[in-house]
Amino acid sequence: MRARRFDLIAFDWDGTLFDSTAVIARCIQSAVTDLGYTPPSQEAASYVIGMGLAQALAHAAPDVPREQYALLGERFRFHYMAHQNDLSLFAGVLPLLAELKERQHLLAVATGKNRAGLDEVLRTQALSGVFDSSRTADETAGKPHPRMLHELMGEFGVKPERTLMIGDTTHDLQMALNAGCASLGVSYG
């Protein structure tokens, strides 16, 4: 039986390529605490990773009034920036990406990060030319809405059956299902 070949492979960023899940959860907890509210559990804070920041904070910190979300987001970014040196790519990511590029796959990132955050981490990790495209939660609908994948497929003229989404959360896998694409879940993130 011939192996299925995908033309476009889209990766989630946090928890899939980048080892940041524990740091993000701690930063959510710290931001909520900064505002004087009871922080979410590690499980609740981890569950929202992959969503856009506003959506994630609303789910992780339902006691925080909506009018404080901007401040909560600022506090989250403050704590996240303080932990930049604690973050790195997972082992094996660079050779994997190089092998996929060599095999002529189109590579993309579909992430709940914002554009500025993704561009910065791609620059600091020396990955600025590796991906053919990317979509972030501040540019389009967040996960699990399929728009990120629809836009990426449209950009390259790739059909859903030729697209693979790789991620570490149910949000990633549900987005792929909603877009009619195959998905691969990773459990190390």
Q: Which CATH number goes with the domain that contains 181?
A: 3.40.50.1000
What is the C-alpha radius of gyration for the chain, rounded to an integer number of angstroms? Answer: 17
Residue-wise pLDDT for 141-156, tens only, equals: 999 999 999 999 999 9
Asked if pLDDT for residue 86 goes beyond 90, the answer is no
d(CA 73, CA 75): 5
**Cα 32 to the center of its chain, rounded Å:** 21
Name the domain boundary from 85, 105, 137: 85
pLDDT category of residue 1 using cuts at 50, 70 and 90: very low
Residue that is last in its domain, among 85, 106, 139: 85
User: One of 12, 19, 168, 172 is an active-site residue; which one?
Assistant: 12
Please state the pTM of the whole predicted model: 0.84
The single-letter DSSP state of residue 3 is: P
On whether both 69 and 92 belong to a single domain, the answer is no
pLDDT in tens, 35-82: 999 999 999 998 888 787 778 888 889 999 989 999 998 999 899 889
* Known catalytic membership, residue 12: yes
Q: State the Cα–Cα distance between residues 49 and 40, nearest whole angstrom.
A: 13
* Residue ranges making up the domain that contains 169: 8-19+88-185
- 119 catalytic? Reply is no
For residues 52 and 12, is the Cβ–Cβ distance under 8 A? no
Q: Which of 7, 14, 19, 138 is catalytic?
A: 14
Q: Are residues 167 and 180 in the same domain?
A: yes
The answer to whether residue 12 scores a pLDDT higher than 60 is yes
State the amino acid at position 92 in one-letter form.
Answer: G
Give the start-end residues of each E strand in the chain.
8-11, 18-19, 88-89, 106-111, 133-136, 163-167, 182-185
Q: Based on the fold, state whether residues 103 and 179 are members of the same structural domain.
A: yes
User: Would you say residue 3 has pLDDT above 80?
Assistant: no
Please give the backbone phi and psi of residue 150, each rounded to the nearest 5 degrees, phi first. Answer: -60, -45
> Are residue 141 and residue 151 in the same domain, yes or no?
yes
Q: How far apart are the two ends of the chain, measured CA to CA in Å?
A: 31
* 126-147 residues labelled b (16+ CB within 10 A) or e (exposed): ebeebbbebbbbbebebbbbbb
Give me the pLDDT at residue 2, please.
46
Cis peptide before 144 (omega within 30 of 0): yes
Amino acid of residue 131? F
Higher pLDDT pick, 121 / 11: 11
Mean pLDDT on 18-39: 94
Q: What is the C-alpha to C-alpha distance for residues 49 and 18, in angstroms, rounded to an integer?
A: 12
* Mean pLDDT calculated for residue range 82-109: 93
Give the residue-averaged pLDDT of 106-117: 94
Query: Measured between alpha carbons, how far is 115 from 135 in angstroms, rounded to an integer?
Result: 8
How many domains is the chain partitioned into structurally?
Answer: 2
Identify whether 1 is part of a domain. no
Going from the C-alpha of 88 to that of each of 14, 57, 172, the distances in angstroms are 10, 23, 20
